[in-house]
């Protein structure tokens, strides 16, 4: 049965959270034991009644029925066995001294683990995490007191059944997932001599995964992705629309050109809830919007019908968790169908036609709005009349200000809401989000292979306590816990925020700090951005106003609470 799509990213921390990162400390370091090298002589010469000799008896066939339980070996042969074993031990030790023993600590470090500390999310560019963020800024975290079900015997460990996610990715190949695609460009190196964009420092500036920085490279990346990952029957239309949006100064189709409202759930259990009712009837219905609920079964059918035998289907079929699928399907629905996506635990407060009314122009249009259009707007014409409706409508979720502990709670200091969003079909932002999910999945596959290798190497070295600690970390673990990405950076709001801001940066020159402290909707070319109150009224942070405020369009009830099939609960 496919993972459930019922999971939501619900981030509603207290206004003054206390930072907490699981602390670990090494009390002892298991050393390599050489007893196994001499186990054969020990077994051969042990007493007949010992368990070891009984094991050997099962391996050495008797010459005839009634043969003695322990084979008779002459003194000369005994000496020969000892000499062979001793020679083998000397050769083995010599090889280790010459070539070096397996470096388990080094291998663990490559997935964020070592004998001293647990990786507290090694930030981009080698920077230190902000003070109070719950991250030590170090590259590692300790292992030995990692929570474990039991203390295992270092000689004969009792291996627990593998976790549900323990083997994910081992049959996948990241090079096949990314075949035909250009490597993801790294963020530029941090220049410490240049002032950061805010008091949060270079760490906050560089936390965004920017991608291509020029319009030419951005366009080439997206069109290449469409060619490689989408079926022939739909790729032409996507490429034409994406190219048109990128060429037009003010964008393309209106965000409400397709009046579809999309919601996802495991089944129909919430189809008649009060929250869902605000979307499928009333104000939205009166404006001609059509509501659709994509259950798990329907989502699978939709993917396999529209994207059969494509790289996107391969991605979908191999996502290991319902929360990852829930994120990915919303991007695909906006990309291929268009309309509004909203979680089932949201209330529609105002009709979609009211979203972003009386928006202000970013920088009053300077640098991006043609002079003729600006003159018409100054003369009294409405923004929508002059430059058309926006193609995308999003809302702010977080604007952390100068809060030093922001990284404990949000993946980005300016973060875009992912539980409600709207877009015209075939827009570059949604396409970029799907591409980012594919690259993140390939990174997770590489991590899974490295993780499995480390587990096996620790077992070989006899470091069973470390091995069991490493096995507790799975593909969905946060980086500060030794995991590869964390859900928020794999498919969640970190991905959507980066996709939105990278488009605004490449096309209009905006940077993340340009969205700080906004209290009214702003229009940036073909994108409408609502203040925190727009899709997050009543959260008690970032200047959010109550749900009855005039700027409140959608209310999030936070009932999903990020519960996953693995039992994780977001803080």
Q: How confident is the model at residue 90, as a pLDDT?
A: 59
Q: How confident is the model at residue 544, as a pLDDT?
A: 87
**Euclidean distance between CA atoms 239 and 219, whole angstroms:** 10
Per-residue confidence in pLDDT tens, the chain, 571 aa: 445 554 445 444 444 333 333 332 223 333 333 333 333 333 333 334 444 334 333 323 333 333 344 444 555 555 665 666 666 655 655 554 554 444 555 545 544 454 433 333 334 444 545 544 433 332 222 222 223 333 333 332 333 344 457 889 999 999 999 999 999 999 999 999 999 999 999 999 999 999 999 999 999 999 999 999 999 999 999 999 999 999 988 878 999 999 999 999 998 988 999 999 999 988 999 999 999 999 999 999 999 999 999 999 999 999 999 899 999 999 999 999 999 999 999 999 999 999 998 899 999 999 999 999 999 999 999 999 999 999 999 999 999 999 989 988 889 999 999 999 999 999 999 999 999 999 999 999 999 999 999 999 999 999 999 999 999 999 999 998 899 999 999 999 999 999 999 999 999 999 999 999 999 999 999 999 999 999 999 888 888 888 899 999 999 988 764 444 433 333 2
DSSP alpha helix (H) spans, 389-463: 428-460
248's enclosing H/E stretch is: none
Secondary structure class of 554 (helix, strand, coil): strand
Contact between 103 and 17 under an 8 Å Cβ cutoff? The reply is no
Phi, psi of 555 (to 5 degrees): -110, 130
Contact between 458 and 466 under an 8 Å Cβ cutoff? The reply is yes
Six-digit token string for 566: 């693995």
pTM: 0.75
Secondary structure class of 81 (helix, strand, coil): helix
pLDDT digits (tens, 9 = 90+) for 151-171: 333 332 333 344 457 889 999
pLDDT digits (tens, 9 = 90+) for 337-394: 999 999 999 999 999 999 998 899 999 999 999 999 999 999 999 999 999 999 999 9
Secondary structure class of 114 (helix, strand, coil): coil
Q: How confident is the model at residue 151, as a pLDDT?
A: 33
**Euclidean distance between CA atoms 467 and 330, whole angstroms:** 38
Secondary structure class of 520 (helix, strand, coil): coil
Contact between 156 and 51 under an 8 Å Cβ cutoff? The reply is no
Contact between 344 and 351 under an 8 Å Cβ cutoff? The reply is no
Which of 112, 133, 140, 141 lies closest to 203 in space, CA to CA? 133
Six-digit token string for 10: 């619900």
Q: How confident is the model at residue 76, as a pLDDT?
A: 59
Secondary structure class of 527 (helix, strand, coil): strand
**Residue whose pair of structure tokens reads 């009855």 in the numeric block:** 548
101 CA to centre of own chain: 34
Which of 480, 478, 508, 479 lies closest to 568 in space, CA to CA? 478
DSSP alpha helix (H) spans, 230-286: 232-247, 274-280, 283-286
In angstroms, the Cα distances linking 425 to 256, 401, 420 are 10, 33, 16
Q: How confident is the model at residue 214, as a pLDDT?
A: 95
Contact between 340 and 283 under an 8 Å Cβ cutoff? The reply is no
Phi, psi of 420 (to 5 degrees): -140, 130
What is the DSSP code (8-state) at residue 69? S
Q: How confident is the model at residue 67, as a pLDDT?
A: 39
Secondary structure class of 470 (helix, strand, coil): helix
DSSP alpha helix (H) spans, 39-74: 39-45, 51-59
**Euclidean distance between CA atoms 196 and 511, whole angstroms:** 12
**Residue whose pair of structure tokens reads 């042969």 in the numeric block:** 77
**Euclidean distance between CA atoms 538 and 567, whole angstroms:** 28
Q: How confident is the model at residue 455, as a pLDDT?
A: 94
**Euclidean distance between CA atoms 74 and 85, whole angstroms:** 17
Q: Helix, strand, coil: what percent of the chain each, to 5?
A: 40, 10, 50
**Euclidean distance between CA atoms 522 and 519, whole angstroms:** 9
- Domain ranges in the chain are 165-556
**Euclidean distance between CA atoms 438 and 444, whole angstroms:** 10
Q: How confident is the model at residue 525, as a pLDDT?
A: 94
Contact between 29 and 74 under an 8 Å Cβ cutoff? The reply is no
Six-digit token string for 550: 């005039």
Q: How confident is the model at residue 440, as a pLDDT?
A: 97
Contact between 416 and 396 under an 8 Å Cβ cutoff? The reply is yes
CA atoms lying within 13 Å on the CB side of residue 272 = 1
**Euclidean distance between CA atoms 157 and 431, whole angstroms:** 48
């Amino acid at each position: 049965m496919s993972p459930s799509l019922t999971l939501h990213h619900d981030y509603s921390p207290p206004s003054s959270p206390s930072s907490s990162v699981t602390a670990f400390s090494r009390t002892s370091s298991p050393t390599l034991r050489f007893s196994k090298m001499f186990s054969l002589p020990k077994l051969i010469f042990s007493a007949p009644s010992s368990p070891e000799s009984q094991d050997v008896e099962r391996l050495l066939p008797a010459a005839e029925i009634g043969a003695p339980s322990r084979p008779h070996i002459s003194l000369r042969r005994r000496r020969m066995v000892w000499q062979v074993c001793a020679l083998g031990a000397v050769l083995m030790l010599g090889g280790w001294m010459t070539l070096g023993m397996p470096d388990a600590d080094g291998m663990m470090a490559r997935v964020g683990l070592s004998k001293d500390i647990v990786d507290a999310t090694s930030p981009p560019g080698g920077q230190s995490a902000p003070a109070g963020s719950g991250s030590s800024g170090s590259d590692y975290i300790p292992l030995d007191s990692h929570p474990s079900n039991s203390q295992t015997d270092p000689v004969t460990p009792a291996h627990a059944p593998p976790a549900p996610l323990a083997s994910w990715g081992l049959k996948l190949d990241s090079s096949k997932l990314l075949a035909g695609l250009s490597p993801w460009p790294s963020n530029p190196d941090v220049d410490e001599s240049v002032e950061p964009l805010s008091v949060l420092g270079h760490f906050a500036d560089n936390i965004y995964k920017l991608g291509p920085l020029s319009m030419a490279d951005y366009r080439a990346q997206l069109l290449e992705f469409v060619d490689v990952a989408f079926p022939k029957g739909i790729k032409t239309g996507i490429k034409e629309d994406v190219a048109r949006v990128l060429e037009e100064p003010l964008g393309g189709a209106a965000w409400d050109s397709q009046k579809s409202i999309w919601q996802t759930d495991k089944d129909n259990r919430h189809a008649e809830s009060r929250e869902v009712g605000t979307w499928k009837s009333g104000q939205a219905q009166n404006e001609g919007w059509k509501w659709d609920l994509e259950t798990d079964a329907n989502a699978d059918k939709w993917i396999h019908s529209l994207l059969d035998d494509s790289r996107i289907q391969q991605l979908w079929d191999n996502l290991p968790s319902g929360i990852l699928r829930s994120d990915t399907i919303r991007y695909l629905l906006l990309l291929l169908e268009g309309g509004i996506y909203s979680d089932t635990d949201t209330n529609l407060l105002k009709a979609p036609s009211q979203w972003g009314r009386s928006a202000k122009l970013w920088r009053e249009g300077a640098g991006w709005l043609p002079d003729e259009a600006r003159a018409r707007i100054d003369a009294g014409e409405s923004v929508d009349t002059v430059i058309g409706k926006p193609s995308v409508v999003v809302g702010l979720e977080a604007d952390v200000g100068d809060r030093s502990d922001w990284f404990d709670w949000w993946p980005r200091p300016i973060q875009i809401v992912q539980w409600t969003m709207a877009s015209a079909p075939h827009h570059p932002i949604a396409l970029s989000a799907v591409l980012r999910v594919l690259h993140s999945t390939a990174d997770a596959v590489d991590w899974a292979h490295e993780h499995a290798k480390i587990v096996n190497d620790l077992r070989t070295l006899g470091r069973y306590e470390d091995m069991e600690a490493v096995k507790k970390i799975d593909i969905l673990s946060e980086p500060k816990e030794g995991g590869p990405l964390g859900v928020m950076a794999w498919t969640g709001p970190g991905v959507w925020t980066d996709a939105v801001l990278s488009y605004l940066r490449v096309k209009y020159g905006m940077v993340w700090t340009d969205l700080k402290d906004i209290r009214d909707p702003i229009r940036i070319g073909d994108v409408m951005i609502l203040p925190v109150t727009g899709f997050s009224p009543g959260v008690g942070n970032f200047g959010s106003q109550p749900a009855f405020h005039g700027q409140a369009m959608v209310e999030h009830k936070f009932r999903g609470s990020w519960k996953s099939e693995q039992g994780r609960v977001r803080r």
